[in-house]
Amino acid sequence: MNLIFKGDSINKGARILANMIKDSESTVILTGAGMDTESNIPDFRGRDGWWKNIDPRQVASIYTFDRNYPLFHEFYSMRIKILEGVEPHEGHYILADLEKKGLIDSIATQNVSGLHSRAGSNNVYELHGNIRTIRCNQCNNEGKLEDFLAGKYCSFCNNKALRPNVVLFGEALPMDAWSRVEEDIKKSQLLIIIGTSLEVYPVSYLPILTKGKIVLINNEDVNANYEFDIKLIGKAGEILKELDKYIA
């Protein structure tokens, strides 16, 4: 098909997508940062402060954790604090409702906000982890969020190695979640990609695995090494609200 819908034609695209979902026996959702922006998550790279002149890829790395823990701690403490009060938007709840209706099998997300689970989705694969959970990098035991923010040592091994349970630059993705996502996408009849430009490997390779149809919902068009059956260009939450009108 390779159809593009935007602006006034979103309504038509939402109707087509609703029928695709109803016809599919196995549907998987893949989300990126664009799924969360309507929950008013600030872009820390654009805010005033010391971090605006620091490459976040350097700060959010295992190297910085090992060599400059105070900088790492300040960076992630800031990121955690700006998520205080952030709630799922209507689009998150619509996806959770689709799962309850048996219309989607799973959600794979690059986001670390935990908003899909908070909205009620159960089968969520957090490919990059969850920033709201804490563990010790030394003994791998679970830690408390308040202990990390306070700069305390691990209560199990007494090592100052507490960190958010996220994948840092220089670390591998969680193999359990990754293998389950691969399995789900390989058997999917419909893959809906929401809010990601698919520029980061290895997530960019996931759509190649499906033999089914591929749909893009994103604020801007995306060029990839595979064809989308349809593209809906606009804000994820607004498009999902339009889609919800046609899901019986």
Helices (H), the chain: 10-23, 56-59, 62-67, 69-81, 90-100, 115-118, 145-149, 175-186, 236-244
Cite the active site residues: 128
First-to-last C-alpha distance (Å) of the chain: 24
In the chain, the amino acid numbered 66 is: D
Q: What is d(CA 71, CA 64) in angstroms, rounded to the nearest whole number?
A: 7
Cis bond upstream, residue 202 (ω within 30)? yes
CA–chain centroid gap for 241, Å, is 19
Q: What does the block give as tokens for 58?
A: 């350097």
SS3 assignment, position 170:
coil
The answer to whether 121 touches 99, Cβ cutoff 8 Å, is yes
Q: Is 201 left (phi over 0), alpha (psi -120 to 50) or beta?
A: beta
Q: What does the block give as tokens for 6?
A: 């935007």
Helix 236-244 / helix 10-23 crossing angle, nearest 10 deg? 60
SS3 assignment, position 187:
coil
Q: What does the block give as tokens for 32?
A: 């990126």
Q: What does the block give as tokens for 157?
A: 């091994």
Beta bridge partners of 169: 61
The answer to whether 195 touches 236, Cβ cutoff 8 Å, is yes
